[in-house]
């Protein structure tokens, strides 16, 4: 492979070549920086990028490898980090002028784990304002007049454009799955509490998840394996054995998986492209998919998710609202104001329904299905840069804290990618990746 094409490597390939000494981290990072120089004027994925510092980190990684000391599974691999994760060596501005120039004193748990695995932080990627709806400057790499989705806009766009093999983002409603779908890459939102959020902007403890972006499912597995695990500073994580994501993603399912096609109560929002695409998909899958109707209580998840998100955002952004509301977008101000009116009884009711609703899904998985098959978004990335699109096909799964992955398996009439979402049982994240690999391979065969 020519040096100028190294940015196209998957993270797994890049890590292997660096480990073997066939490629240096500096060569890889230089290729990524060249790609950024070439494309980012149009795409605008980065909030902070210091090429010299990135190259210095890469050279340090190369020296470490040459010294013969043990290196991690991501040694020398660059990763992009959404600008809501604290980094001790770069600003973390949360997409808001209220935090312009803020440089935290310590790394977030995710960044610390990336560095411990040998990865280097290439830079910080554009987020919407406080990871909510008001867009940043990023454009869709497939078409500059279309949104990349959000809130992890820069992370998704950077990976899709080949600027970096891996990126980290977040999801509180649809902020990972939606931009991954719109940008035509793989996005993964694990089970709630699987990856610690300490040092990440908190907008909603109940709904915030770390999200991952890559161009292959294997790369998602590689990254997830390094990031999952207990952190005493995130009370929603639990001590557990290391999850063998990579081995699971590489394994054959013991039996051919069975998928439950779930239209969800908001199917009427799915556009013609999505309906046509899912029609073909269902046909290609034959007896490996069955349409399943959700129980009626699932329809309430959207209003429960909204009550929690509004109430918790209002609590978490109280200081920003009280001291700096003039510097908040009108959309965010209104969201906080709605949140301030939510009553504690309604908030508690919404919280109390998460357990029973996820339990109902658990039965579905135990009885017959390996994963739920459902759209990632109503359609391809909409035209225009003033919204990041509709997150509602993610809402139910985020509310339930179930693992979800978006795969770039379909295409709209206009050529833009359409994501297919697979949703798994809580805590069965590795199995979901295995099922996703099977699905991707099955469809590649049938083409």
**Cα(33)–Cα(31) distance, rounded to whole angstroms?**
5
Residue number, 153 or 237, with CB nearest to its own copies: 237
Distance of closest approach, residue 342 Cβ to its own copies, in angstroms: 4
List all residues 6 or more positions away from 38 whose beta carbon is below 8 Å from its beta carbon: none
Q: Minimal distance in Å, beta carbon 59 to its own copies?
A: 43
- Strands 289-291, 259-261: pairing is parallel
For its own copies, the closer of residues 256 and 355 by Cβ is: 355
Judged by the rule CB under 8 A, the positions of this chain that interact with its own copies are 307, 311-312, 314-315, 318, 339-349, 352
C-alpha angle 105/106/109, rounded to 5°? 155
* Nearest CB to its own copies, comparing residues 173 and 374: 173
d(CA 423, CA 183): 19
Query: Mapped to the 3 state alphabet, what secondary structure does 428-440 carry?
Result: CHHHHHHHHHHHH
Q: How far is residue 446's CA from residue 424's CA, in Å, rounded to a whole number?
A: 24
Yes or no: say if 420 and 177 are a contact pair by the CB < 8 Å rule: no
Rounded distance between C-alpha atoms, residue 395 and residue 262, angstroms: 14
Smallest gap from residue 2 Cβ to its own copies (A): 54
Give the nearer residue to its own copies in terms of CB position, either 273 or 310: 310
Is the CA virtual torsion 52, 53, 56, 58 positive or negative?
negative
CA distance 266 to 112: 39
Provide the 10 A C-beta neighbour count for residue 305: 27
Q: In 3D, which of 5, 331, 11, 65 has the Cα closest to residue 185?
A: 11
For residue 62, the minimal CB distance to its own copies (Å) is: 43
**108 counts as catalytic:** no
Find the shortest distance in angstroms from Cβ 259 to its own copies. Answer: 31
Give Cβ neighbours of residue 336 (< 8 Å, ≥ 6 apart).
313, 314, 317, 318, 321, 325, 328
- Residue 206 C-beta: closest distance to its own copies, Å: 10
What does DSSP assign to residue 97?
Answer: G
Q: Which of 25, 108, 151, 392 is catalytic?
A: 151
Alpha-carbon distances of 320 from 129, 132, 184, 317, 329, rounded to whole Å:
12, 14, 34, 5, 12
Instruction: Quote the tokens at residue 364.
Output: 């579905």
Q: Which is nearer to its own copies, 337 or 363 (CB)?
A: 337
The question of whether 151 is a catalytic residue gets the answer yes
Cβ at position 348, least distance to its own copies in Å: 4
| Nearer to its own copies among residue 213 and residue 347 (C-beta) | 347
Distance CA 347, CA 267 (A): 26
Tell me whether residue 252 or residue 341 sits nearer to its own copies (CB atom). 341
Nearer to its own copies, 318 or 363 (CB): 318
CA angle (170 as vertex; 282, 59 as ends), nearest 5: 110
Please pick, among 153, 155, 170, 175, the residue that the annotation labels catalytic: 175
Q: Residue 307 Cβ, how far from its own copies at the closest point, in Å?
A: 8
Q: Indicate if 263 belongs to the active site.
A: no
Number of CB atoms found within 10 A of residue 399's CB: 26
Residues that are catalytic:
82, 151, 175
């Amino acid at each position: 492979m020519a040096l100028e094409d190294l940015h196209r490597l998957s993270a797994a390939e890049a890590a292997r070549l660096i480990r073997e000494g066939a490629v240096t981290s500096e060569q890889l990072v230089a290729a990524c920086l060249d790609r950024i120089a070439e494309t980012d004027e149009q795409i605008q994925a980065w909030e902070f990028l210091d090429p010299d510092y990135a190259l210095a980190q890469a050279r340090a990684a190369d020296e470490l490898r040459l010294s013969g000391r043990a290196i991690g599974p991501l040694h020398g691999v660059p990763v992009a980090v959404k600008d809501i994760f604290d980094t001790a060596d770069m600003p973390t501005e949360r997409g808001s002028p209220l935090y312009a120039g803020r440089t935290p004193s310590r790394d977030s748990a995710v960044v610390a784990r990336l560095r411990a695995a040998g990865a280097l932080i290439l830079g910080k990627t554009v987020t919407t304002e406080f990871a909510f709806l008001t867009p940043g400057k990023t454009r869709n790499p497939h078409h500059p007049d279309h949104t990349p989705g959000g809130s992890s806009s820069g992370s998704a766009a950077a990976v899709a454009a080949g600027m970096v093999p891996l990126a980290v983002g977040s999801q509180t409603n649809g902020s990972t799955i939606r931009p991954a779908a719109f940008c035509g890459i793989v996005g993964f939102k694990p089970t709630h509490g699987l990856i610690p959020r300490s040092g990440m902007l908190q907008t909603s403890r109940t709904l915030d998840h770390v999200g991952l972006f890559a161009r292959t499912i294997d790369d998602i597995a590689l990254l997830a394996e390094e990031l999952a695990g207990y952190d005493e500073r995130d009370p929603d994580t639990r001590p557990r054995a290391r999850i063998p994501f990579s081995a699971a993603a590489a394994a054959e399912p013991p039996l051919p998986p069975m998928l439950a096609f779930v239209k969800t109560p908001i199917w009427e929002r799915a556009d013609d492209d999505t309906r046509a695409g899912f029609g073909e998909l269902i046909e290609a899958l034959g007896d490996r998919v069955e349409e399943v109707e959700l129980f009626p209580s699932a329809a309430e998840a959207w209003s429960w998710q909204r009550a929690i998100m509004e109430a918790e955002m209002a609590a978490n952004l109280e200081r920003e609202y009280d001291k700096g509301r003039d510097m908040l977008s009108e959309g965010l101000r209104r969201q906080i104001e709605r949140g301030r009116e939510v009553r504690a009884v309604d908030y508690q009711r919404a919280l109390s329904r998460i357990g029973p609703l996820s339990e109902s899904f658990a039965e579905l998985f135990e009885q017959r299905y390996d994963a739920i098959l459902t759209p990632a978004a109503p359609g391809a990335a909409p035209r225009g840069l003033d919204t990041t699109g509709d997150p509602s096909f993610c809402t139910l799964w985020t509310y339930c804290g179930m693992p979800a992955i978006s795969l770039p398996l379909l295409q709209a009439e206009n050529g833009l990618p359409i994501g297919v979402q697979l949703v798994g049982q809580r805590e069965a994240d590795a199995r979901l990746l295995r099922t996703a690999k099977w699905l991707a391979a099955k469809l590649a065969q049938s083409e």
